[in-house]
Amino acid sequence: MTRFDLGPWRELQEGVFVAQCQPEGVNLGLVVGSDACLLVDTGSSPWQGAEIRGSVAQLTSAPLTTVVITHSHYDHAFGLAAFRDLEVFGHASLGSSLRSPAAQAKAEELRIDPDDIRLPNRPITLLAAKDLGASPRNDRKRWVEISHFGPGHTAGDLVVLVPDARVLFAGDLVEQSGPPQIGPDSVVAQWPKALDAVMGMLRPDTMVVPGHGEVLDRMDVLEQRGAIGATYAQCEWLRNQGVGEADAYGHPELEWPYTEEWARAAIAKSYAELAVLVPRPVRTIPLTAV
C-alpha cells in the first residue's frame, strides 16, 4: 500500500519553509508574507493535500491564497483538489498532461477518482509574480517570481524565487536525492538551457530547494547542468559518427555521469530526440574506377 506521510515544516529563511512528504520524498515549499502565503506543490493525493492545507493553517495565521504547481507529476500535483478554491498557478501544458492516459492510470493505481485530478486555474506560459505583503519579521517587501524557462524535466516546469529571502524552489529541474530524473516526458536537449536561465536568477548565497532531497546551492545546479548538457552532446557526437544507441554507453572514448542505469536512460531519450530533430547522417562511398 502506498504510504502518504507529511513531515514537519522547517524554516530555511525568515518566513520560508520546506516540508517533505511521502511517497517519493517530495519537497513542499511555503512562503509566508504579512498579507498572505503561497504554497509550492500539493502532495500526491487529495487527502494528502487536505492534510498539507491544515498544517499550513497551524503554522501561520497568514491566509493561504495561492498555490504553484512546479510540474505535472503525481507527487507534486495530485493533491490539488484540496485547494480548488484558491488561486493556482501552473504551466499551460498541465491542461493536457494531467488529463493524459498516464496521469489517469496513475490516479487509478492510487485509488484516486480521476475527477479529483484538478487543473490550475491560473495557467501561465512564461512569467507571473505574486505580492505577499512584507516579510514576517521586518519591513522588506515580500513577493515571489514564478518562471518557466522552457522544457526540461517535463514540458511545463516552473520555478519559484523568493528574492528577499534568496530561496528558489526548483521542482524536479534539480535533484539531490538522486540524479536528475529523465522520463518519457523529459526534453534532454532543452533542459540545460532551462538550467542556464535558472542560474541567472541565483546569487552565490541563494538556497536552491530541489524537488527531492536536501537544499543545494548555485554550484550544485551548475554541476547538474553540465552533466545533462554533456550527456546530450556526447549522444549527438556519437550519432554523427554512426554509432548506434546500443553501442553508445560502452564507447571507449567517452565517460558518462551518474550511474549506468541513469546514463542508459539518458542515452535512449537523447537518441530518440535526435532522431526527430536531426536526420541521420548519410555517408557517401566514393566510386571506384573500373
pLDDT tops 70 at residue 81: yes
More confident position, 1 or 21:
21
Kindly give, in sequence order, each residue whose CB lies less than 8 Å from that of residue 199, ignoring residues fewer than 6 positions away: 218, 221, 222, 225
Q: What is the largest CA-CA distance in the chain?
A: 90
pTM as predicted: 0.93
pLDDT in tens, 156-197: 999 999 999 999 999 999 999 999 999 999 999 999 999 999
211-229 average pLDDT score: 97
Q: What whole-number distance in Å separates Cα of residue 45 and Cα of residue 57?
A: 19
pLDDT at residue 286 in the model: 44
pLDDT at residue 280 in the model: 55
Q: What whole-number distance in Å separates Cα of residue 189 and Cα of residue 129?
A: 28
Cell digits of residue 176: 539531490
pLDDT in tens, 33-72: 999 999 999 999 999 999 999 999 999 999 999 999 999 9
pLDDT tops 70 at residue 23: yes
Reference 216, options 185, 260, 172; nearest CA is: 172
Cell digits of residue 230: 554533456
Give the model's confidence band at 138: pLDDT under 50 very low, under 70 low, under 90 confident, else very high.
confident
Mean of all residue pLDDT scores within the chain:
93
Give the model's confidence band at 4: pLDDT under 50 very low, under 70 low, under 90 confident, else very high.
confident
CA angle in degrees (0–180, nearest 5) for 65-66-70:
160
Percent of the chain with pLDDT over 70: 95
pLDDT in tens, 90-119: 999 999 999 999 999 999 999 999 889 999
User: Alpha carbon of 228 to those of 61, 104, 168, 180, 283: distances in Å?
Assistant: 42, 29, 20, 8, 29
